[in-house]
Chain A
C-alpha cells in the first residue's frame, strides 16, 4: 500500500506552499493585501501540516508536525529589500511571478488532497476522508485567491 507515499507527498507540498506564502508575504510588504493575506493563508497550510502528521502516525509514517520555517535572517533581508523596491515598477512584475507560483503550487496541493481522499476511500478510513474533506477546500480557496489576485493585478502591471 502506498498510502504513506501519498501522505508524504502532501505533507511536503503543504509545507512548501506555506513557505512560499510566507516568502511572498515578506517580499511584498508594500502590497498590503498580499502581505497580510499570504500570511493568513500560510497558516492554513501550516495547520494542515500538523493534522497530516497526526494522521500519518496511524500509518506509521513519520511526518514532522512542526511546519518548516525559514531563518529569521533571510526573512529580514527580504523585508528590507521589499521596502527598498516598493516604489519600483519591477516589484509588480515580481508580484505576478510570485502569485503565479502560489497558484500552481496550491493546485498541486489540491491534487495531492484528491489523491489522499481517493486512497482514504479505498481503505475505508473515514477519519482520513474527513480530514481531506475539511482541508481540501482550503487549498482550493488558496488557489482561487492567487488566481483572483493575478487577474486583478495583471492589467495594470502589464500595460503600464
Chain B
C-alpha cells in the first residue's frame, strides 16, 4: 500500500492502482453504510488546487455507473475524482476510470468527416458528408422502402441520443432494423427479466450488497468487469459477519478465489447446472410456499422439470463434483438475504436466456425479491446499455412498450404524434445478427454504425469483414477514432464523446446520472445528438400533422421529451430533471410523483409489472425462441404475477472433436474495454495488458508439452490467431482468449496482416434463440506450438483471472505513472466540488 503523503494529512495516501486494482479495504458489517473512500487521479504535475473546475459525470468504461467529477485545466481534461456522495461508488473509481480519460486527448481523434473517394477515405466538410448520407437514404427509401436501412448503435451514447435515434428510425423512417451492440452484452439480461417478470427493470439494488448473507455470482467475473462493485463485496468480506460467496465460472477468477463454493462447469452446460441446483431446492423444500402461492405462476412445471436433473446426473453433464452442487444448493437454499448477479458466462453461453431465467427462479421460489439484501442483478456490460434498452434503440420499443400490443403501440404513436401504422411492429425489431444476414442477402443496403466496432466485436470476423466491405452496402460509421469498422466505411462522422457533451445515463441498478460538458470536442467533432438532429432536419421527418417529428433541439429538451414518453411506464423518469440530477448522487427510476426521490427497490410485496395490458413482453419459448401471443400470455398469467419458466438442457451446437478437442471461451480483462479504442490509448492500461494471450490449464499444457510464454496458434473451423500461452487456473479442456485486441494498432489496419490477433476470428455464428445474444463461450478449438517462449511470459496481467501458476512471472505493476491519491476521510480533498 502506498506511502503517506506528508504534504497533506495522514489519511491521504497514494496507491499503484494498476498493481492493486481494487485499492484499499474499508471493511463494514451487514446493514452498515459503506465507508467513503475518494480516489483521485490527476495528470502528472497537476495538484487538486491547480484544477480550474470539476464537472459532474459518471464512469463510461464499464457498466457500474460510478459517480465522478472531471478535472478541467486550461480547457483540457486533466483527471478525475470519485464523487463521495454518489450512491454507487462512495468516492471510489476503478483503474479504467482513473486512467482511461486520457484517450479523450489522443492526437489521433477524428476531427473532420471523411468520405470515400476513389476507394480512399478523404477529409471533407459536414455538409458533404451529411449530404451523401441523406441522398443515399432518400434514394433507397424511394427504391426499396425502409427495409433497406438499418442502424447499429452502442451501449455508450447518452439517453437523449438513443431516444432521438429510436424516434428517427422507428417513427421517422419506419424501419424495424434498429439494434445496439448491447445485443452482445445485455440482451439476455433484458430477455431473462421479461421472461420472469413480464418486463425489463432490475429487481436489485447495489445496496443489497450491504445486507446480503449470500452473494451468488453466475458467470460474472465482477472483480474485473465492475471493479468498484467488487470492492464493495471485498469490504463486506473483510468486515464482521461476511456473506458467503457462490461463484460459477470455468476460470479461476478473483471472484472464485473468494468463493465459499466455486463451481467450474463445462462450458455450455449452465442450464443443467441450474436445474440441478433447483432440483435440490425443490427436493429439500427450501421454497417459500406462501410467496409462491400468492405471487407466482408456473411453479409446478418447474418442479416437474427439475425432477429430471438430480445432482448425480448434473455432475456428469457439467463435470462438476456432485458434493459441490449439493453444497451450493444448500447455501442458496438456506440463505436469508440472497443477492444474485449474472453476466457473460451465462449471457454469451449456450442457452443464455434459459440459464439466466433459472437464476430468477431461485429468487422467485425462495420469495427473495424486493427486500434489503434480496436482489437480482442481471448485469449490463456497458455504461449506458440500460438506456439503449429503455429508449428503444436495441430491438425494443421506447419506454418498455410491447411491440405485440396494439394498444401500447397506439400509445407510443400518440406520444410521437404518428399513425400507429407508421411504427413498424409486425415483427420484433431486427437484432444485429439478423441485420447482418440481410446485408448478406443484399436486402439491407444502408447501415449506420455508432460508437461500436463490429469488425472486431462480432463473431466470425472473416464473414463480418466480407459483408461490411461489399460495394452494394453503404456503410456510415460515427465514432471518435478511425476504428477497424470505420476503415471500411463510405462515410465517417467524427463524434464528440463523454466529457465533451451533455446528457444523462443509467446504470444497471436503475441509477440515473447527469454527465456535464467539461471541454470542447476536438476539431469539427460533434455530439451524437447533434448529428441525429441534423439528419432528422435534412430528411425533413414530419409527424402526422406536418410538424417536425423531432421536436427538441438540445440535450435538456430531449430529456424532457423522453420524460413524457416514459410517463406511467415502469422506467418512469417524470420526477427527474437536469436540475435535480445536477449535484445529486444518482437517482433510481421509477421516479415520479409517487416516488419523488426515486425507488431503491422494485417488486416489493410481490407486485410486478407483468399484467397482460401493461407488460413489455409476453415472453418466448426458451428453446425455440418463438414469441407467445397475447392470448397465450393472458391464459398463463392473467393477474400479472411473476413467472417461473422451466427449461430442458440442450447441448451446445459445436462440441469438441478429434480435430478441435478444446472448448474456447472469449472474454475480457480488467484493464481494457471492448476493442481498446479508448483503453489502448491510455498508457497505464495498455502497458498492463499490452497484447493478446491464451489461457490453458497446467494439465492441458503438460499434455501437449507447452509452457508459459510459448507462442501458439489457436484455431477453430472459422479461423486462427497467434497468442502467447498463460498457464493458469482455468478448468481442464477449456481455453480462454481476451477479445479486446484487433488490428487498428497493427499494420493490417482493419484485418490481419499475417497471423490473426482478434479472438473473434475464432468464434461461431450462433446465438440464443430467445435473446438473440451471440455465443462467445463455446467453440471447439485446437492449439499448436509456433515458437518456444525463450523465457518471456505471456503478456497477461498477474492480478486477475489470468494470474499465472508459475512463480517466475513478474507481477503486473504500474509504477510511478499509476499512482492514485486515496482519501479515506470524507470528501474534503482539494478543489471546489
Interface residues of A (CB under 8 A from B): 30-33, 36-37, 39-41, 86-89, 91-92, 141-142, 144-145, 147-149, 151-152, 154-157, 159-160
Q: What is the CB-to-nearest-CB distance from B602 to chain A, in angstroms, rounded to a whole number?
A: 30
CB-CB nearest in chain A for B438: A156
B148 touches A155 (CB 8 A): no
Q: Is B626's CB under 8 angstroms from A148's CB? A: yes
Q: In the bound complex, do residue A30 and residue B653 qualify as a contact, i.e. CB atoms below 8 Å apart? A: no
Using A36-B653, A156-B147, A160-B144 as known contacts, say yes or no to A31 and B626 having CB atoms under 8 A apart: no
A141-B433 in contact (CB<8A): no
> Is the CB of B650 closer than 8 A to any CB of chain A?
yes
A89 and B427 in contact (CB under 8 A), knowing A36-B653, A145-B621, A159-B147? Answer: no
Q: Pick the residue among B438, B441, B626, B766 that contacts A144 (CB under 8 A).
A: B626
29 contacts across the A-B interface (CB closer than 8 A)? A30-B441, A32-B433, A32-B437, A32-B767, A33-B625, A36-B653, A36-B766, A37-B624, A37-B625, A39-B653, A87-B441, A88-B441, A88-B442, A92-B441, A141-B623, A145-B625, A148-B624, A148-B626, A148-B627, A149-B626, A151-B426, A152-B427, A152-B428, A154-B427, A155-B147, A156-B438, A159-B147, A160-B144, A160-B147
B440 within 8 A of A: yes
Q: Which of B127-161 contact A (CB under 8 A)?
A: 144-145, 147-148
Main secondary structure of the interface of A (DSSP, over half): helix
The interface of chain B, by Cβ under 8 A from chain A, is 144-145, 147-148, 426-428, 430, 433-434, 437-438, 440-443, 621, 623-627, 650, 653, 765-767, 769
Q: Are A145 and B624 in contact (CB under 8 A)?
A: yes
Q: Do A159 and B625 touch across chains, with their CB atoms under 8 A apart? A: no
3 shortest A-B CB distances, which residue pairs? A160-B443, A148-B626, A145-B624
- Chain A residues, Cβ within 8 Å of B145: 159-160
Q: Secondary structure at chain B's binding surface: helix, strand, loop or mixed?
A: loop
- Which of B144, B427, B440, B441 makes the CB contact (< 8 A) with A151? B427
User: Given contacts A148-B625, A155-B426, A159-B147, are A33 and B442 in contact (CB under 8 A)?
Assistant: no
Query: Is the beta-carbon distance between A30 and B769 smaller than 8 angstroms?
Result: no
CA distance A87 to B436 in the complex (A): 11
Q: What number of A-B contacts does a CB cutoff of 8 Å give?
A: 77
| A149 to B, closest residue via Cβ | B626
CA A87 to CA B442, docked complex, whole Å: 7
Q: Enumerate chain A residues within 8 angstroms of B624, measured Cβ to Cβ.
A: 37, 41, 141-142, 144-145, 148
Q: Which residue of B lies closest to A92 (CB)?
A: B441
Instruction: Using CB atoms, name the residue of chain A closest to B466.
Output: A87
A37 to B437 CA separation, bound complex (whole angstroms): 16
How far is A89 from B430 in the complex, measured between Cα atoms in Å? 18
Measured CB to CB, the closest approach of chain A to B436, in angstroms, equals 9
Complex: how many Å from CA A31 to CA B627? 19
Residues of B near A88 (CB, < 8 A) are 441-442
Known contacts A92-B443, A159-B147, A160-B443, A40 near B437 by CB under 8 Å:
no
Besides A144-B626, A145-B626, 17 other A-B contacts (C-beta < 8 A): A32-B767, A33-B767, A40-B623, A40-B653, A41-B624, A86-B441, A89-B441, A91-B441, A92-B443, A141-B626, A145-B621, A145-B625, A149-B626, A155-B426, A156-B430, A159-B144, A160-B443
List, in ascending order, chain B residues with CB within 8 A of A91's CB.
441
Specify which chain B residues have a CB less than 8 angstroms from the CB of A160 in the assembled complex. 144-145, 147-148, 438, 443
CA distance A32 to B427 in the complex (A): 19
B769 touching A33, Cβ below 8 Å: yes
The interface residues of chain A lying within 8 Å CB-to-CB of B767 are 32-33
CB distance from B673 to the nearest CB of A (A): 28
Q: Are B440 and A86 in contact (CB under 8 A)?
A: yes
Contact B769 A37 (CB under 8 A): yes
**Could you tell me the distance between the alpha carbons of A89 and B442 in the complex, rounded to whole angstroms?**
7
A2–B653 Cα distance when bound, in Å, is 40
How distant is the Cα of A30 from the Cα of B460 in the complex, in angstroms? 13
